Structure 1
Amino acid sequence: MSTTKSAELVNYAERTRPARLTNSFEAFVGLRKGFATDSRDELLKYSHWAKALNEANLHITVREDEIGAASDAYQKVAEHLAANLSWPPEAILIRTQGSVSTKTLIRSPNGGEKFDIDAVCQVDISRVEATNPMGFFESIGRALVELEAQAKRRCWNLPFPNERFYLEFTPSVPLNTIPTQTLQAMAPRYSASRYAKTALAVVDTPTKDWKTSNPAGISQWVDDTAKRPLILEIAMEAYAADRARASVSPVPDQTVEITDTLRVAIRLFKRHRDMCAKRQIIDSSTKPISVIIVTLLTTCYEGFADLGRSFEHPVELLAALADLLPHLVLKLDGKYRIDNPTVEGENFAEKWNDDDGERYRSFKTWCDTLSADLKTILALTDQQAVAKQVREVFGIPAPSGGGSGLPSIQPPAPRATPATSGLA
């Protein structure tokens, strides 16, 4: 029987890992095949880990009203472009990409930093002259000059100094509207594969040429994968019952709970990476970019689903994802590879092969630290001790008043726009 690429990668990672992250889950009687009558009660023993990690996830969430402000900014940018370029408004479509579209946007542990919102400006090439890539890219920049647009490799940075966010704005055209001759020249390097209908051509300014991109495809892949059930139904029932007893306040739409384990893993692992950089465990200039974390975790989750794996509790799945993370990176012909699942030929780890191994070492150091920190958390059994350790690991302030829960936080004050890769 043939297996999928994701399943093959999971099998490879399981063969090459030295040991499991934790065996604590194996200790619970009746949690494997054939549940005992009191298995719901047994599953609730996970609750102290689940609550602490879920509260950490809620803490790092960007509020829905802040996302709404960014959405309003998209519309202003679209209107600005239409007015300054004399383009018909219906020729311009602006949509989010990256962390916002996958619901994995997080706050920085550095309290005053802005968060970045990635957006893509999709232009109907049949209505607008956009055949010359650099001419197209520069025309967008000229139209955005009043918004203090700053050119980057494939996007324009819009700082929005009076807001808590800034935009990374990528001009693009639908890939299927690129002239055939140009498309054929691109194909040997970058060709659309999965979710090909949403593929775009963006301008790569160093090469002054088009490059295939598919942010909507990545977002759809994460969404489709996250919906695949890996948690046994009995565990979901137990978790829901425990949540009801806890009387937790409703969360905003942008927020996901630990039962959406893929997205929670992406969020928590990104936060842990940021904390490692803040604590100078890894260098901030070489820390793994978010698209790599998203790709590896989603591939692993998809591989588990393709192999028919199941897990008794979201915490067990979270630990399994962390367990395999460092073993999912391929090295072929001496080169590191993390393939874009929607664009054949694009390697998200391309820069890892041009820096004497610095980025890979940062990735490995971060993975080792993540594993050690999760081992410490999962070895604890006292609820107060678990909550305290989770706060320490993920950089969350201790409660200011009574109670053991993790606190909510006030939105950070805006400050100067930090440098970003555009792949957050």
Structure 2
Amino acid sequence: MADTHYSYLVNEAMARRKNNTQITKTLRESLVMDSIQDSRRHLEALALDIKMVNDHIKVDESIFGEASVDYDKIANKLVEKLHWPNESIRIIPQGSVSTKTLIRSPDNSKFDIDAVCSVDLSMIEVNDPMDFFDKVGLAIEEWEPEAKRRCWKVDFKGRRYYIEFTPSTPLNKVPQTATNQIALSPSNRYRDKALAVVNTPSRQWKTSNPEGFSSWVNDQSSRPLLRWLIENSMQESYSLDSVIPVPAQEVEISDTLRVAIRLLKRHRDMSVKRNYIEPNLKPISIIIVTLLTQCYEGLADKGAVYTHPIELLLDLVELMPYMIEHRANDYWISNPTVEGENFAEKWNENPQLKNSFDIWTNLLKENLNEILAADNLDSRRQIIKEVFGCTATQSPPSPIISGLAQNRPTQAHKAPPTKGLA
């Protein structure tokens, strides 16, 4: 048991939730059966329902083979057009692909697959950050890339996805003449994976660490909190080739952190689809991933042990909203791999973003309580299908959320693809 920053935040979250309705209280009340065997049977049935949702929202594995081919196409084009050495280029899957938390959109529209192109600038000639960024865009111009804040969006025809491709360089490879232009610094965690990306609005280098962030999520997910996994001490390994393949996306419910991330992202997308929150105000994935992973790490540091993944899943969902920090009256969700980067920065500029987060988490808790309060397994399964959009028509359930109707947009909106790291 370790006394860490995240274990402190978990303790604070546990104290704060005592003043609120607990999802786990509903769970415990629903599991007051005649025997332990009956309780276990209900937990297993709920686990099967969650697995059904997880299977429904996962992305077809064949897509990731296509993405790997497209990564190679981009890398080869940089070599061909810019005459950069093969060994100078390293392409790294990032975001939800690298953490195995990518989900398909409710309307099956195109989704993004993020990748980082890490180039050793000591092996090529680059004058400044924008020169580097523009050269990458020029080299792949045949695919008509769209310039974004830090990446190029490449929409390969006939694909079910588009690639957001971020030019970068290892932080220690930035030319010495430009080091004073680098915004932010890497944290000590995964420092060796830190990169400099081009922040086009400022036209300067900015510290980023997408590979380190993914490693953080993956490393925390591998820490066993379930009793039988603690006994087995499961571990994973990752490839370090120059073009890193997209990881296989199969995730079992025992991998509870990743399942929680997938479920909450899906619930958020369904909340947009059903007009409870505006698309431009929806909680971004990086915030969901960060809060859940911080919570998981804090529980692991505390030495928490769970007998069933459903119990852990519900604790993660319930504690997650209370993991948000306050620093100098600002909301703060820190990037664990980059010092001073606050993923909640825009909340402090636009209070509607935090309000939308609160609406969504209240809806989430109400829906989960409704699921757990179902009086039989069949009705519960039907509610789960409706809540997570796993029915044929994906028609919205009748919500029982008090005080939220006035927050519903008046027109339907298409949920946009996830942006950024997740």
- Paired with 1:234 and 1:21, the residues of 2 have a C-alpha distance of 24
- The AA in structure 1 aligned to 2:114 is D
The alpha carbon displacement at 1:40 in A equals 6.1
- Paired with 1:175 and 1:303, the residues of 2 have a C-alpha distance of 29
Determine the structure 2 residue equivalent to 1:21: 23
| Counterpart pick for 2:421 among 412, 417, 423 | 423
- The AA in structure 2 aligned to 1:172 is S
SS in 2 for 1:285: helix
- Is 2:94–2:421's contact at 8 Å kept on the other side of the alignment? no
Determine the structure 1 residue equivalent to 2:410: none
- Paired with 1:60 and 1:236, the residues of 2 have a C-alpha distance of 30
Residues 145-180 of structure 1: per-residue CA shift (max 9 Å, x gap)? 111100000000001121111000000000121245
Residues 160-210 of structure 1: per-residue CA shift (max 9 Å, x gap)? 1211110000000001212456445536x3333311111110000111111
- Paired with 2:375 and 2:220, the residues of 1 have a C-alpha distance of 31
SS in 1 for 2:24: coil
Residues 239-263 of structure 1: per-residue CA shift (max 9 Å, x gap)? xxxxxxxxxxxxx941212111000
| Counterpart pick for 1:99 among 86, 96, 101 | 96
| Counterpart pick for 1:389 among 383, 390, 394 | 383
Alignment of 1:189-338 (within 5 A): 189-233=184-228, 253-338=248-333
Determine the structure 1 residue equivalent to 2:237: none
Q: Summarize the Cα distance change of 1:361–1:270 in structure 2 as closer, same or farther, 3 Å threshold.
A: same
- Paired with 1:261 and 1:149, the residues of 2 have a C-alpha distance of 37
Tell me if 1:349 matches 2:344: yes
- The AA in structure 2 aligned to 1:295 is T
Tell me if 1:73 matches 2:70: yes
Determine the structure 1 residue equivalent to 2:154: 158
- Is 1:155–1:422's contact at 8 Å kept on the other side of the alignment? no
SS in 2 for 1:341: coil
- Is 2:332–2:343's contact at 8 Å kept on the other side of the alignment? yes
- Paired with 2:51 and 2:393, the residues of 1 have a C-alpha distance of 16
Determine the structure 2 residue equivalent to 1:4: 4
Equivalent pairs, count: 387
- The AA in structure 1 aligned to 2:8 is E
The alpha carbon displacement at 1:333 in A equals 1.5
The alpha carbon displacement at 1:312 in A equals 2.0
SS in 2 for 1:259: coil
SS in 1 for 2:223: coil
- Is 1:191–1:345's contact at 8 Å kept on the other side of the alignment? no
- Paired with 1:221 and 1:291, the residues of 2 have a C-alpha distance of 13
The alpha carbon displacement at 1:322 in A equals 1.0
Determine the structure 2 residue equivalent to 1:84: 81
Determine the structure 1 residue equivalent to 2:241: none
SS in 2 for 1:423: coil
- Is 1:40–1:234's contact at 8 Å kept on the other side of the alignment? no
- Is 1:159–1:417's contact at 8 Å kept on the other side of the alignment? no
- Paired with 1:15 and 1:256, the residues of 2 have a C-alpha distance of 31
- The AA in structure 2 aligned to 1:215 is P
- Is 2:122–2:175's contact at 8 Å kept on the other side of the alignment? no
Residues 338-359 of structure 1: per-residue CA shift (max 9 Å, x gap)? 100111111111111112x011
- Paired with 1:419 and 1:29, the residues of 2 have a C-alpha distance of 38
- The AA in structure 2 aligned to 1:100 is V
SS in 1 for 2:260: helix
Determine the structure 2 residue equivalent to 1:127: 123
The alpha carbon displacement at 1:421 in A equals 3.0
SS in 2 for 1:69: helix
The alpha carbon displacement at 1:27 in A equals 4.5
| Counterpart pick for 2:365 among 371, 382, 399 | 371
| Counterpart pick for 1:170 among 150, 166, 169 | 166
Bigger Cα displacement from structure 2, 174-183 vs 305-314: 174-183
RMSD, matched Cα: 2.7
Residues 50-82 of structure 1: per-residue CA shift (max 9 Å, x gap)? 111111011100011111111110000100111
Determine the structure 2 residue equivalent to 1:249: none
- Paired with 1:107 and 1:256, the residues of 2 have a C-alpha distance of 15
The alpha carbon displacement at 1:417 in A equals 12
Q: Summarize the Cα distance change of 1:419–1:153 in structure 2 as closer, same or farther, 3 Å threshold.
A: farther
Tell me if 1:59 matches 2:53: no
- Is 2:285–2:418's contact at 8 Å kept on the other side of the alignment? no
| Counterpart pick for 1:138 among 134, 137, 143 | 134
So what's the TM-score if we normalise by structure 1?
0.85
- The AA in structure 2 aligned to 1:203 is V
Q: Summarize the Cα distance change of 1:42–1:89 in structure 2 as closer, same or farther, 3 Å threshold.
A: same
- Is 2:257–2:293's contact at 8 Å kept on the other side of the alignment? yes
Structure 2's unaligned 5+ residue stretches are 233-246, 395-413
Could you tell me the percent identity over the aligned residues? 48
The alpha carbon displacement at 1:28 in A equals 8.1
- The AA in structure 1 aligned to 2:273 is K
- The AA in structure 1 aligned to 2:369 is K
Determine the structure 2 residue equivalent to 1:404: none
- The AA in structure 2 aligned to 1:169 is F
Tell me if 1:361 matches 2:355: yes
Residues 21-46 of structure 1: per-residue CA shift (max 9 Å, x gap)? 23144358899xxxxxx856642320
- Is 1:192–1:212's contact at 8 Å kept on the other side of the alignment? no
Q: Summarize the Cα distance change of 1:419–1:60 in structure 2 as closer, same or farther, 3 Å threshold.
A: closer
Bigger Cα displacement from structure 2, 16-25 vs 95-104: 16-25
